[in-house]
Homo-oligomer: A and B are copies of this chain.
């Protein structure tokens, strides 16, 4: 039986193509009649794609030589959507040998997060769109599974700490923070419980929010201890 050995020349083995696919998530702000919601960036698939209908997909690319996965993720976001990613995080390797009919392609799924404002300022509208989740769109390959993994990961991150991915700016009210967390969680969070859970990791600033109805809210920033 044939078994490989560490010392054997690497060139003797057929090698897979390695791709990255990224769920670039954001929180779509509330409008007058909808709450804030989680969203994901999709890019237009090139029409010359073989074996699959043109349409929308997560941004992805093949890993280049001498490149790390995180660099490939940032490059694919830059090239496909004009967006600069921040901290791509690995989710899972999809490895079904038959998952891509163009050949043997492993895909390393990633999560990255960007604020809606940054995303809208950077992205190329002709090539990309942001869809609210959950979406009824049909996506190719394992892209729906990637979005589910990304959502789950993000929810866990946001469960016990204030805006760990920094979707908000330096100062914000607890109501702002709660709206973001509710969008990520996909459900309403009780205001008193939420406040008590987060307050320990926030630092109150010597200012209050202006230009809103009702009692002005205290502004907060991330406390030094938890700002990382």
A104-156 interface (Cβ within 8 A of B): 104-106, 108
Selected from B13, B46, B62, the residue in CB contact (under 8 A) with A13 is B62
Stretch at the interface among A15-23, A172-180, A181-189, A205-213: A15-23
Can you list, as one digit per residue, whether each of A57-90 has a CB less than 8 Å from chain B (1) or not (0)?
A: 0001111111111100000000100000000001
A105→B9 CA distance, assembly (Å): 12
Q: What secondary structure prevails in chain A residues at the interface with B?
A: loop
Copies in the complex: 2
Interface flag for A93 (CB, 8 Å): yes
Measured between beta carbons, the chain B residues less than 8 angstroms from A69 are 93, 95
Beyond A4-B62, A15-B15, A16-B18, 15 extra complex contacts between A and B, CB < 8 Å: A4-B61, A6-B46, A7-B46, A7-B48, A7-B49, A14-B65, A16-B65, A18-B18, A18-B106, A65-B104, A66-B97, A68-B95, A68-B96, A69-B93, A90-B93
A165→B94 CA distance, assembly (Å): 23
A26-41 interface (Cβ within 8 A of B): none
Q: How far is the CB of A55 from chain B (nearest CB, A)?
A: 12
A interface residues with partner B (beta carbon < 8 Å): 3-7, 10, 13-18, 45-46, 48-50, 60-70, 79, 90, 92-93, 95-97, 102-106, 108
Question: Can you list 20 A-B contacts with CB-CB less than 8 angstroms, sorted by A residue number?
Answer: A3-B79, A4-B61, A5-B48, A6-B45, A6-B48, A10-B17, A10-B103, A10-B105, A13-B65, A14-B64, A14-B65, A15-B15, A15-B17, A15-B18, A16-B65, A18-B18, A67-B97, A68-B95, A90-B93, A93-B93
